[in-house]
Structure 1
Amino acid sequence: MTSMNVTGILSIERLKEQYAAGRLTPSVVIEGIVERSKADAAKNIWITPPSYEHIQPYLDRLSVLAPADAPLWGIPFAVKDNIDVAGLPTTAGCAEYAYIPAHHAAVVERLVEAGAIPVGKTNLDQFATGLVGTRSPYGETTNSLRPELISGGSSSGSAVAVARGHAAFSLGTDTAGSGRVPAALNGLVGFKPSIGAWPVKGVVPACESLDCVTVFAHSLEDVLAVDGVVRGAHASDPWSRSLPQPAAKLPAKLYLPSNRPSFYGSFADSYGKAWDAEVARLVKLEEQGGLGMQIEYIDDALFSEAAAVLYDGPWIAERWAEMEGFVESSSPGTVFPVTEQVLRSGNAESLTAASVFRAMHKLAQYKLEVRQLLEDAVLAMPTCGGTWTREEVRLNPIATNSAMGLYTNHCNLLDLCAVAIPAGEAEADLPFGITLFALAEEEGLVVGAASQVLGAEVSRGAGGTETVVLDRVLSVPIGKSATATTLVAVCGLHMRGFPLEKQMLGCEAVYIRTARSAAKYKLFKLLTEPAKPGMVRVHEEGSSIEVELWEMPLERFGEFVASIPAPLGIGKIELDDGSVVPGFVCEGYAVQEVEEITAAGGWRYV
């Protein structure tokens, strides 16, 4: 078996390129995934982990599928274990509830028909009841970056599987934020379509009238590739409806809360600063004419009031309506204790038929106001106002979980679509993210806005049609050592046209694209012969620096790193799209009393 880099990233786009070039095969990718899942067993990502026993038939089937006719040919994906995969147990996080479905859920069926490979069933907050990822008898799913922290729920395993390189994308579900919170806590994109846009046939219900199937991936383009396959009404699904594919377009307005959002937990201050920094960045873009949307500030109390209806109102009874029979017939301890407490709250005497109608009427008014407000506009909020250690959640399971839904609970009640996107870090290995919301059937607005916020180009073509051009490479392909590669970010004499480009070519590296770092670096002209740049990460007043991304075989990477003279070296470089790649960094002592050239924006312009 081949040893793999367990933090490598998989992406649909990159895998398709590798397959087409003959440098990688689906069987080699699966080999790496099986190894990674074993290495990460202590993270409690899987309930049914990747195994050749259930994956092999999907690999065999690829031989009769033409890649040109199967848009997701050979692409591995993970499935939250409240979504049916034929022949594998569906547990919903409860062994006693488990059953083995004869058929795939509708979304899984469409993905398999497109050539995608379901590699296993992921852990979740039991019965999709929670936003923390700790409410499972199969163990607490740890955060992909900092294991002492929560992973977010209920789609915990699905998010961490993608973040840890066990799948190119994964399916989750979202009733109150479960397709968005885990994305934010693990540095991913999480897409929640309009209710009914993706069929829910074959999904264990939480609140059936609000449930959505969602997707986690490393990039917006991968999300849209999945959407292009699974979207559409299903003849056997009464909740599904025919909604068009998102055509990316920029909204006229980007709304921000007029009152600074509340932040919570031990990381509240860091999260608050990350939000302030993202707002400042967006405002600066608008001032420079690079945002393409007018920023306006609004009172977000309406959304908070609507969010309160979900758990303070009668919708919690919908969960009880689904689970009452199982809970009441089960022996004590079958249902996770905090989960049973939440479910039984839906049986409160105050939740009468009259209370249901009062809540429906109140919500109808909220929806009307939101439809008027968000016409040709999107709303940006923090995806989460903080996070917790797993120990903190154990000590206070209800309050910590409730806090995680502060900026998510309103979404499905108000019939909105949403995309959660990375927005840098609150601290080292502590991702921060924002969510963009738009009206149902207006996914094109959140796609266009997200593309712009992430740094892609959104241009207006002939006839006023907007086209999104996404420019990023976010993958480290896996495979046998002969084909395994890594990205390397270079910022000086190793770039194309400079004297040390020959070292890159000598190590069989291939130029991929020009990119920019996150705005967290300064550049200095070192006192070397010849002169070289030194790129240093700083805590304050950093800028974005132009770099080149090269792809280098891993078997040549070691000798390349060894050849780099001090004070330079290879560290981790954060790019402006939130991804992190190996790249040139400089030791701090070498930039004392030398010329700072940050303002140039890159060595090529010095």
Structure 2
Amino acid sequence: MCAIAVPENTADTELPFGITIFSLSDQEGEILGTAERFLQTQSIPFAVCGLHKKGFPLESQLTELKASYKESINTAPHYRLYRLDTVPEKPGMVYDDKKGAAIAVEIYELPVVSIGAFLQQVKKPLCIGDVELSDGRIVKGFLCEEYGLTNAKEMDEPFSALDPQTKADMQLLMRQIWQEEKPTVIFVTHDIEEAVFLSSKIYVLTQRPGTVKAEVPVLLPYDRDLSLKDTEEFIKLRKKVNQLIEHESLS
């Protein structure tokens, strides 16, 4: 006799994990082929929240390995999203059960036979871990290790209480610091004009529970002064973000 054991995507937690295929001693090649064909039918759900999402540059890393998009869903409200200082820039999702929120993710079915090849493409500070979804499911997905946040910053409405002139001065100072030191900054604001002027990418959030509704690239010159706010490109972008927020407030 000869035999081979293969993993299986069973949801039954009371039964042994996997399947064992038996055959006669001179049929090793046959059961190896059967096991290979069986594994090609097995997959795991995998959660992505950044450049691996549909239509983004790294989606091909999944599709080339025969992964298929299944659904869009939110995580449980226990995560925070940071903009990482990587090339290309990537978001990093970190578990935070005290100050976390629900994050919009996409679920792909990743073939079991492709997991090894996929893991080779995962670069630090990203890692693979358990991600809790809003419906209670636990799936594998991208997370960020804590050391990856060293150069990331969160700023929660720091200029909201300033008079208009001081606020404008602080915005210019913020841009100057960013251009000189190149830190990664997450800036939280309700001021649409401020968001467009300061950022290179804007995330528009939904109402409670807060999730990422839209990601808006800010394709404006890095070298900015206050005159930029009067340009056609700036006004058009400001209106686009405003429409997203107005639609959210009316929904």
TM-score by length of 2: 0.51
**d(CA) in 1 for partners of 2:54, 2:140:** 18
Change over 3 Å in CA distance of 1:542–1:564 after alignment to 2: same
Matched residues in 2 for 1:562 and 1:496: separation? 21
Retained in 2: the 8 A contact 1:570–1:585?
yes
1:489 to 41, 47, 53: 47
CA distance in 1, matches of 2:46, 2:214: 17
Residue identity (%): 36
Q: Are residues 1:542 and 2:100 paired?
A: yes
Counterpart of 2:241 in structure 1 is none
| Count of residue pairs the alignment pairs up | 143
Counterpart-to-counterpart distance in 2, 1:573 and 1:37: 24
- The question of 1:576 aligning with 2:134 is answered yes
**Could you say which structure has the higher strand fraction?**
2
Residue of structure 1 equivalent to 2:11: 9
C-alpha distance in structure 2 between counterparts of 1:599 and 1:519, whole Å: 17
Aligned match for 1:527, one of 76, 85, 90: 85
- Work out whether 1:586 is the aligned partner of 2:144: yes
Q: Name the Cα RMSD after superposition.
A: 2.6
Aligned to 2:85, the other structure's residue is in SS state coil
Q: Equivalent residue of 1:552, what SS? A: strand
Give structure 1 stretches of 5+ with no counterpart: 11-32, 41-478
Q: 2: CA distance between counterparts of 1:574 and 1:486?
A: 15
Which of 560, 563, 566 is the matching residue for 2:124?
566
| Distance (whole Å) between structure 1 residues aligned to residue 98 and residue 143 of structure 2 | 17
1:432-581 correspondence runs (5 A): 480-581=38-139
Residue 493 (structure 1) shift: 0.3
**What's the secondary structure of 1:480's corresponding residue?**
helix
How far does residue 38 in structure 1 lie from its aligned partner after superposition? 3.9
User: How far does the alpha carbon of each residue in 1:215-270 deviate from its partner, in whole angstroms, 9 at most, with x for none?
Assistant: xxxxxxxxxxxxxxxxxxxxxxxxxxxxxxxxxxxxxxxxxxxxxxxxxxxxxxxx
1:2 Cα shift? 3.8
- The alignment's TM-score, normalised by the length of structure 1, stands at 0.22
Q: CA deviation at 1:604?
A: 4.8
- What pairs with 1:238-387 in structure 2 (closer than 5 Å)? none
Structure 2: state its 5+ residue gaps. Answer: 19-36, 155-185, 187-202, 206-210, 217-251
Q: CA deviation at 1:595?
A: 3.9
Amino acid at match of 1:605: E
In the alignment, does 2:163 pair up with 1:605?
A: no
Other-structure match for 2:222: none
Q: Could you say which structure has the higher helix fraction?
A: 1
Whichever residue aligns with residue 9 of structure 1, its letter is: A
Deviation at 1:509, TM superposition (A): 0.5
Shift of 1:39: 5.1
Offset from partner CA, 1:163-199 (integer Å, 9 cap, x none): xxxxxxxxxxxxxxxxxxxxxxxxxxxxxxxxxxxxx
Give 1:599 shift: 7.2
SS at match of 2:98: coil
* Secondary structure, aligned partner of 2:88: coil
Secondary structure of residue in 1 paired with 2:39: coil
* Cα distance in 1 between the residues matched to 2:89 and 2:144: 14
